[in-house]
Copies of this chain bind each other. A is one copy, B any other.
């Protein structure tokens, strides 16, 4: 069953929380084989920017965004599990979103796309699960925005996933994170090239600036200090006047922003970013506790990072505590990584043993699990 990107076509109307779209597509990739009792599938939701390409495969040997986590003999072991990763509804890597053509008008949706919620993203992912003939999942897994989506999925379809893995995420967006994302969106929207969402080439400058702000929320001051200190770039790499690139840290951010821009559609970025702000598990039952009580999974793994400023560790602790209602097993890990919110992508040595133990893998260094 190993193959590169698939498209699941939903025929007819798809009801979103704030509107209806026609015939949307959801892109996904799978790795590994479904077993006979059909109980070894793992559904993986992504953060804001990745595609469904979580790991390399024979048909697409390029590195995926979680290459060191998903694969044969890795913590999410594709020789034991069927792993399904979906590109979020609203994104721009094969799934329908604001940059897609509305079949009813033959025009790009742009800002006519309904306001997106992570519940919509979860429901679209479930369409893929159903299309594969699955009634249950071994686990639903997500980090960052994907962790919110996995949580939404666990509440919307409580009978489906037997376990939930929520990494560097939150049960609801807090105002500081909302403000940081709101400013990124405003930076994009005030770029004249955004043109009220009706662009052809897109707001390059706005996207680069927003990405730089994003980077500053994804990493930590301690990591920057260790990596860059007050190092200056060499004379020939200095750019512009006194306000151009002088420090190595400025050069680093610039290189990352340039790399990102052009790969991601601006309107999709706006919609997915706002969807995180709107997420609040209390919308399901009236309170955080009630919302989390609706999670059906019997095993839950919550991991957070102490230096994360976008999804602070206290949110993960609160989520783990509330989920630990005596009806399920809850494991909570508070990691002292320097890499902040992005640690799950770059500080893999801390995460792999925990995921490995949770998924009963057979890595050479499985690590040890401690409970809450």
Residues of B with C-beta under 8 A to A225: 174-176
Q: How far is the CA of A242 from the CA of B117 in the complex (A)?
A: 12
User: Which of A79-87, A181-189, A350-358 is the contact stretch?
Assistant: A181-189
8 Å CB contact of A216 from B176, B242, B247: B176
24 sample A-B contacts, Cβ–Cβ < 8 Å, listed by A number = A111-B241, A111-B242, A174-B224, A174-B225, A175-B221, A175-B225, A175-B228, A175-B247, A176-B216, A176-B225, A176-B249, A179-B224, A179-B249, A179-B250, A182-B247, A183-B216, A185-B243, A187-B209, A189-B243, A190-B209, A213-B213, A221-B309, A243-B270, A243-B274
Q: Does A173 contact B (CB under 8 A)?
A: yes
8 Å CB contact of A173 from B175, B189, B230, B280: B230
Residues of B with C-beta under 8 A to A277: 246-247
Q: How far is the CA of A246 from the CA of B178 in the complex (A)?
A: 10
Q: Does A253 contact B (CB under 8 A)?
A: yes
Q: Does A192 contact B (CB under 8 A)?
A: yes
Residues of B with C-beta under 8 A to A216: 176, 179-180, 183
Task: State which residues 178-232 of A face B: CB under 8 Å.
Answer: 178-180, 182-183, 185-187, 189-190, 192, 205, 209, 212-213, 216, 220-221, 224-225, 227-230
Report the 9 A-B pairs with minimum CB-CB distance, sorted nearest first: A176-B221, A175-B249, A175-B228, A175-B224, A176-B224, A115-B242, A179-B249, A182-B250, A190-B205
Within the complex, what minimum Cβ distance (angstroms) separates A218 from chain B? 12
Contact present for B178 and A250 (CB under 8 Å)? yes
Contact present for B183 and A209 (CB under 8 Å)? yes
Q: Does A172 contact B (CB under 8 A)?
A: yes
Contact present for B309 and A253 (CB under 8 Å)? no
Residues of B with C-beta under 8 A to A224: 174-176, 179
Q: Does A97 contact B (CB under 8 A)?
A: no
